[in-house]
Amino acid sequence: MEMNQPIGQTPLDGRPDGLVGRPVDRIDGRLKVTGLAPYAYETQALRNPAYGFIVEARIARGGIRSIDTAAARLAPGVIHVMTHENVPAQGERREQVWPQLQGTEIRFFGQPVAFVVAETFEQARAAAALVAVQYDAQPPKASLKDALGEAYKPKPAQTDPDSQAGDFEGAFGAAPVQLDVTYTTPPQVHAQMEPHATIAAWDGDKVVLQTANQMLNRGQKSLAGLLGLPPENVRLVSRYIGGGFGSKLQVQPEGVLAVLAAKAIGRPVKVAMTRQQEFHCASHRTGTIQRVRLGADRDGRLSALAHESWSDATPGDQFFETSANVTRSLYAAPHRLTRHRIANLNVPVTSAMRAPGEAVGQLAFECAMDELAEQLGIDPIELRVRNEPAEDPEKKVPFTVRQLVPCMREGARLFGWDKRGDAGSRREGRFMLGMGMSAAARLNPLMPSAARVRLGPDGYLTVRMAMTDIGTGTYTILAQIAGEMMGLPVERIRVEIGDTAYPMAAGSGGSFGAGSAGSALYVACDNLRQALLKAGDLRPDDAVFADGAVRAGNRTVTLAELAGRDGMEAAGEIKPGSLKERYSHYSFGAHFAEVAVDADTGEVRLRRMLGVFTGGRILNAKTARSQAIGGMIFGVGAALMEDGVLDPRYGSFVNRDLAEYHVPAHADVPEIEAVFLPERDDKANPLKSKGLGELGICGAGAALANAVYNATCVRVRDYPLTLDKLLPGLEEREGRVQRRS
């Protein structure tokens, strides 16, 4: 099925009390809380594995002068030591799946330079410490600010890095009100609970990876290309994933090294990164420098809008943070400019992290809108309403459904926005109080996916597809969709996912997982329904699937009877069609935050937070709320604490563990709530749903930053908003107050 026309009435529309939408508990929950859900490193499918350990480069730029592995090879339990001198041949990089140990060039600190395989993990780790590497080191390039003069326009990544409409420079120069500000965001690290892990085993010229990977078919294709194998000879299995947030969108070094070593020793090889290795061997979100310029009349209507972003990438790569892409569709302005540039630095690999582009882009742009509102003396919500576009400002096509203004209005009502007050006007003892808000917007793509369903003679339905569950509830949502379509309870649905041996699926990423995989399953179930009706000679116009049976006219037949002794199968697929170009596809929302700032120390404490979102049809009320709140907590971290600190002398992260790279804990997140407005998007997919996994983070941090300004009258444009950045402004403000008095 291709999405070429809006979706009309479906079986999901006729049953408001159906399974889809209910807050159904996770069907895999018991396995997880009892420790019976096997994650990649825990799987027992591949027997008698050896253990691998990565040796990292201790410089960020230069080359390997010599490498001595003699002591490591003689260490207890060691089976194999792999370096650039004996690594098997590999092809070129494929979609950020990099060849490993090739050549002597060092591009970043932590780059794998050797791989030790032993009988136990402890033996491999101990032997890895015996590998002696001599380097010819050069001073690394590790500062984005210092490299701006070398920045260049990258190759297009789905969309062009630049966009332009009208005459921005002329309109900005003529605007009665102008704003020109620069915001910076630091490197951020995914910090997912489960580290990257793989067990690889060969059978002839075929290899199986039990691995932690979000997008199995993409990983299969990329790894096969790297190894010079047909895709069908590479199988990825990933039943359960302990978080990814984008770090597991592609096969990481541990996966490639496990495959190569397993081939060399003729035995499965098992490897997991340590938490410290996660900060260098795996990917992270690049830092950004973003310049926002806004030109408006004195009523707040934008005439000129520009958003420029600079980010960094590992030498040889052109991945860039698409920070300004969301700006292209957010607000109306006739004269527009967006631009992305990258500089290649000697830093670990940068890649996608939750809501790539929108997450950091809205940290800057939504604060700039708040600054413009303050400059004009207009309520921040009202400023956004006055610049609400009638269509996508740059694509010049209508939005599928756009409820940004209702989200802001409802959020203001629920949050008590009318009690906000002017900047610096509210106080509670030594704490300065403030409220802030921001818009939220996230692209809502549909990706090709397929599914197969089988109704057995026992009346149970089995769902199979190469979809993944990264803790978001995929197992449960698929069971709900199949259950409602077939009139079965979730207890009679078997969901089998996480294996490239099953039909191709989009995977978990980009907020397209549930909509894409769920739509493929919907089509497969609809095809099975038609086949069952035909087999039973039942009229389709009044057929009702419920309680494990089909009622049509005056007949009721059980699904087991219709399936017959051999059961019955059906397949389905979904593809984006012409609607992708004819409409602008976004999810929208609004964030509200209240903070308290200690006037003496500058410490910021979040007091409460609210997100109001539209996500099309909500597939599971419980998991949807969980996803939205999880994204909002990500925004809290980005605003107040997350900072991957790079030492420019060595190009290494100095805070490379969860003790020093602080992510929000319970004490950092008090009262937080997410609300969904009713919506059906008939141009998105057959489910009429939208992606939610990343919408919650978009704009969330900006709402906190705007609240901090409202509390203190101090604007910090360098994230995160730590007390050392606030204190100078607080001291200056206190001095102004004292001078006036």
- DSSP bridge partners of 264: none
Residue listed under structure tokens 């805070």: 655
Q: What is the DSSP string of 405-466?
A: HHHHHHHHHHHTGGG--STT-EEETTEEEEEEEEEEEEE-----EEEEEEE-TTS-EEEEES
Distance of CA 375 to the CA centre of its chain: 34
Distance of CA 402 to the CA centre of its chain: 22
- Report the distance separating Cα 605 and Cα 711, nearest Å: 11
Residues 6+ apart with CB under 8 A from 369: 294, 331, 380, 383, 384, 438, 439
105 is catalytic: no
Contact by Cβ (8 Å): 92, 317? no
Contact by Cβ (8 Å): 720, 726? no
Residue listed under structure tokens 């413009």: 372
Contact by Cβ (8 Å): 390, 332? yes
- Report the distance separating Cα 367 and Cα 704, nearest Å: 10
Q: In the structure, how many helices (H) and strands (E) does the chain have? A: 18, 30
- Report the distance separating Cα 178 and Cα 211, nearest Å: 51
- Report the distance separating Cα 487 and Cα 544, nearest Å: 8
Question: Which CA distances in Å does 499 have to 81, 301, 495, 507?
Answer: 30, 52, 12, 11
- Report the distance separating Cα 224 and Cα 201, nearest Å: 14
Task: Single out the catalytic residue among 122, 410, 694, 734.
Answer: 694
Of the candidates 117, 196, 710, 682, the one whose C-alpha atom is nearest the C-alpha of residue 425 is 710
Of the candidates 115, 114, 122, the one whose C-alpha atom is nearest the C-alpha of residue 76 is 122
Question: Which CA distances in Å does 545 have to 533, 559, 613?
Answer: 10, 9, 32
- Report the distance separating Cα 255 and Cα 27, nearest Å: 29
Contact by Cβ (8 Å): 83, 100? no
Catalytically active residues are 694
